[in-house]
Amino acid sequence: MNEPHITNSADVDIDALCTHMRIAAFDLDGTLARSKKPMHADIATALSELTTLIPVAIVSGGIMQLVESQVTDMLTPEANRANMHLMPTTGTRYYRWNNGTWTTVYERDLSESDRAAAIASLTRRAHELGIWEDDTWGPIIEDRGSQITFSALGQHAPVDAKERWDPTNEKKNALAKAVQHDVPNLQVRSGGSTSVDISARGIDKSYAVHELAKALGTTVQSIAFIGDRMDPDGNDYPAAAAGTIAIRVHGPEDTLALINRINTRLRH
């Protein structure tokens, strides 16, 4: 696989981007919003306008309920939900707006035995590595059906605590590597600020953008993918490696500036 070309958002040639892209796809946590928090009103307004100009996809490691509470519940009345593609749990599920509700296009759930093996490995390896926390905000391991997610500080930890826990990603990467050894038939990836995600092998954000291109009758190369975890161990990297127009942001502020530039260009 060739090394993907990844451009920092501030360096994007907006004219070239808007000429070539047919879909704007976004990671969620760290890109559109802080971890598990709703989008701010300004980015919700900008994203709502974008949905009236071009198809918009959200490809997140989080569950569908989080995508709704963080993104779709925050959209303005102007937003065109029919122009949106929601792909939670790292693209292992896909939803479209139909008759006033989000309707399942596909679900790629893990088998019961694979889910049990993933949970056992995460528990054992986290204890061995000394990163199993006893004082947490909610469950550490969540069975999302199509994805098993480890959240070191619990599912409901405050954003500030999560961002302090592993700023270099060393803890998450070590856990992911150890667990991958235990479950070679599954895909293990370092996820958000405190998370490790496990899904079926080959079903990740690369799979998501290929399914998205197929659904819209276009190419992966025409999808702009915007995310904050474009490092090789990050869960946005597979989307970049798949051949999308990969754009790295360093937080929602960068994303807001980029969307505003895109909106201005597409309106004219």
pLDDT digits (tens, 9 = 90+) for 68-79: 999 999 999 999
Q: Is 58 part of any domain? A: yes
Q: Is 1 part of any domain? A: no
Query: Domain check: are 103 and 233 in the same one?
Result: yes
* CATH assignment at residue 131: 3.30.1240.20
- Domain end residue (candidates: 200, 220, 250): 200
pTM across the whole model:
0.88
Confidence band, pLDDT 50/70/90 cuts, at residue 36: confident
Q: Which long-range contacts (CB under 8 A, 24 or more apart) does 230-235 make?
A: 230/6, 231/169, 233/169, 233/172, 233/173, 233/176, 233/189, 233/190, 234/169, 234/189, 234/190, 235/27, 235/61, 235/90, 235/189, 235/190, 235/191, 235/192, 235/197, 235/204, 235/205
Task: Establish whether 228 is an annotated binding residue.
Answer: yes
Query: Domain check: are 157 and 212 in the same one?
Result: no
Task: Establish whether 146 is an annotated binding residue.
Answer: no
Q: Is 221 part of any domain? A: yes
Number of structural domains (the chain) is 2
Query: Domain check: are 40 and 97 in the same one?
Result: yes
Confidence band, pLDDT 50/70/90 cuts, at residue 2: low
Task: Establish whether 29 is an annotated binding residue.
Answer: yes
Note the pLDDT of residue 202: 87
Query: Domain check: are 145 and 74 in the same one?
Result: no
Query: Domain check: are 88 and 138 in the same one?
Result: no
The mean pLDDT value of the chain amounts to 95
Task: Establish whether 229 is an annotated binding residue.
Answer: no
Contacting residues for 200 by C-beta, under 8 A, at least 6 apart? 92, 108, 110, 114, 146, 186, 187
Query: Domain check: are 88 and 207 in the same one?
Result: yes
Task: Establish whether 134 is an annotated binding residue.
Answer: no
Note the pLDDT of residue 35: 84
Q: Which domain holds residue 148?
A: 112-200
Q: Is 134 part of any domain? A: yes
Task: Establish whether 93 is an annotated binding residue.
Answer: no
Query: Domain check: are 102 and 120 in the same one?
Result: no
Query: Domain check: are 19 and 144 in the same one?
Result: no
Can you tell me the mean pLDDT for 124-135? 97
Query: Domain check: are 102 and 125 in the same one?
Result: no
Catalytic residue numbers read 27, 29
Q: Is 132 part of any domain? A: yes
Query: Domain check: are 63 and 84 in the same one?
Result: yes
Q: Is 244 part of any domain? A: yes
The residue type of 231 is D
Query: Domain check: are 13 and 90 in the same one?
Result: yes
Task: Establish whether 244 is an annotated binding residue.
Answer: yes
- Domain end residue (candidates: 180, 200, 220): 200
* CATH assignment at residue 250: 3.40.50.1000
